[in-house]
């Protein structure tokens, strides 16, 4: 068990500060832009849309995914190949353990975005109490696809989709560096990362439910294909 935690610690030490910096910068910019919006608003939805909260979150998530995907690859500046050869476990095991760490980083970013949304609601209540009453703040937040995705409330299927999406992103980010170390372009991983970004920004509405289901299905299939391909490759190298 100690060797597993040591392997996970390698990724944590290399990425924690960078991910925290990107997450904090994204949240700070979102909140700063939100406070600069004029007071002539009719709903929290209009405030969030005019403040570009969702696109800014997508940019922050893109930066986090780039950091995760490049870690351990030739472009990360880390002598990973030498380090991995010295580890007493297979590279497949390292990839799985790093995917768990990456999942934690994505949950951290997710939690920060939820905090941004809740703080925006609090500020709206303080700044515009007459224009945006409490019940309207709640309904506006729930009807906005991006914020509905962050806070599904009683939409339990959405929690399942979110879990699938986060796991798929975490795995394909670490699988990206695995393939990159072998001089290959991981097209499937890139596809999942793009779909994940779209899924994050678009959220889910009734009209977009079919698209969300399709995105989720493709992400699951590509992730499973990547996982079993890696297993077969490791078995062939053994």
The position carrying tokens 């004029």 is 38
Closest C-alpha among 232, 229, 198 to residue 215: 198
pLDDT band of residue 207 (cuts 50, 70, 90) is very low
For residues 226 and 171, the answer to whether their CB atoms sit within 8 Å is yes
- Domain boundaries, given as residue ranges, for the chain: 2-230
Residues 99-151: tens digit of each pLDDT:
999 999 999 999 999 899 888 777 776 766 655 555 455 555 566 677 777 87
Closest C-alpha among 223, 216, 217 to residue 172: 223
Distances (CA, A) of 210 to 24, 204, 217: 33, 9, 10
């Amino acid at each position: 068990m100690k060797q597993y935690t040591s392997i996970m610690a390698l990724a944590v030490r290399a990425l924690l500060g960078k991910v925290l910096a990107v997450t904090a910068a994204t949240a700070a910019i979102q909140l700063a832009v939100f406070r600069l919006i004029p007071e002539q608003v009719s709903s929290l939805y209009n405030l969030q849309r005019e403040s570009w909260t969702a696109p800014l979150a997508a940019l922050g998530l893109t930066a986090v995914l780039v950091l995760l995907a490049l870690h351990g690859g030739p472009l990360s500046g880390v002598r990973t190949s030498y380090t991995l050869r010295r580890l007493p476990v297979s590279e497949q095991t390292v990839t799985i353990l790093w995917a768990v760490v990456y999942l934690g980083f994505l949950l951290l970013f997710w939690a920060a975005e939820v905090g941004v949304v809740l703080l925006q609601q609090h500020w709206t209540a303080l700044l515009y109490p007459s224009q945006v009453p409490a019940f309207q703040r709640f309904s506006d937040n729930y009807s906005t696809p991006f914020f509905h995705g962050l806070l599904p409330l009683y939409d339990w299927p959405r929690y399942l989709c979110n879990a699938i999406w986060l796991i798929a992103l975490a795995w394909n980010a670490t699988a990206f560096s695995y393939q990159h170390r072998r001089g290959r372009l991981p097209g499937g991983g890139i596809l999942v990362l793009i779909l994940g970004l779209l899924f994050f920004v678009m959220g889910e509405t009734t009209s977009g439910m079919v698209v969300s289901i399709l995105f989720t299905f493709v992400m699951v299939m590509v992730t499973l294909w990547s996982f079993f391909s890696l297993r077969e490759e490791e078995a062939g190298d053994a």
